[in-house]
Structures are given as C-alpha cells and as structure tokens.
Amino acid sequence: MPKPEKITVESSIKAPIDDVWRAWTSPADIMQWNAASDDWHTTSATVDLRVGGRFSSRMEARDGSRGFDFEGTYMKIVPKELIECSIGDRSLIVEFIEDADRVTVRETFEAESTHTIDQQRDGWQAILDRFARHVASGS
C-alpha cells in the first residue's frame, strides 16, 4: 500500500514563541481557536504533553447535527520547536520556527482518504489561520 500524500500548511504570527506555544498546547486556548469555520466549535480538549501522552479535541457543528473526535499520541516533543504525533496510522509534524518578532507554525500531515487533498488542505489551513488570529489578538 502506498504511503499517503503529505500536505503542508503554515501561518506566520507576530507574537512571542511563549504565547504561540501556550496557545497550541493549552486546552482552554484550543477550545477557542480549533474550528475551520464559525459554524463549528471545539467543546472539549485534553493535552498530556509528553512523549506517549495523548491529546484529543471534540469538534461539533454548532447546530448539533454532527461532530467528531480528533485525537492522537505525542511521539516527539522539543518545547517551543517541534511536536510530532500519530493520529491513528497517520503522522502529524508541527514546527514552530522563530524569526525576529514572528513565529511560523508549519503543519505537515499525511492525508486521509475520506476527503480530497484540497478539502484537507483548506480545512487545516482555515484552522491554522484561526489559531494565528487567536494568538495575535492576545486572547
């Protein structure tokens, strides 16, 4: 079976790395930014930020029509630089790249087979853009 295609999305945020890292790893913050559009929201989030630790987010349509759990296991953590995790049988790498007064967050993940590559890229980019706005707003 061929390896799934890899998709990369990124966003540059004018904020200190401490703020970016906190917003990425804090369940309270995750619940504020983790949605691709305003008609979705994250109703719960957990983070056990250690190698072998698990994370999960419950994402639901605001009208209650559907929802799903997004969860995985941390495989490698370099504080304020890198998070590698598994999401089922797929991988996700999140890089935090400091440059002067900005931090670029770059996510590279293996595509799944339910949605098209463009749908996945657009959805993950929308969530990352929402994350960037959350951090930049100082929330």
Q: Residue 11 domain-assigned?
A: yes
Q: Evaluate if residue 128 carries a pLDDT over 80.
A: yes
Residue 53 lies in a domain: yes
Mean pLDDT of the chain: 95
Q: What is the CATH number of the domain that holds 60?
A: 3.30.530.20
Q: Which domain holds residue 40?
A: 6-136
Q: Quote the pTM value.
A: 0.93
Q: Please, which pLDDT band fits residue 2 given cuts at 50, 70 and 90?
A: low
Tell me the per-residue pLDDT of 82-107, one tens digit each, with 9 for 90 and over. Answer: 999 999 999 999 999 999 899 999 99
Domain tally, the chain: 1
Asked whether residue 1 carries a pLDDT value surpassing 90, the answer given is no
Is 68 within the bounds of a domain?
Answer: yes
Whether 1 maps to a domain, the answer reads: no
In angstroms, rounded to a whole number, what is the distance separating the alpha carbons of residues 132 and 19? 11
Mean pLDDT calculated for residue range 37-55? 97
> pLDDT tens across 4-30, in order?
799 999 999 999 999 999 999 999 999
Q: In this structure, is residue 132 part of a structural domain? A: yes
pLDDT at 69: 94
The pLDDT of residue 16 is: 96
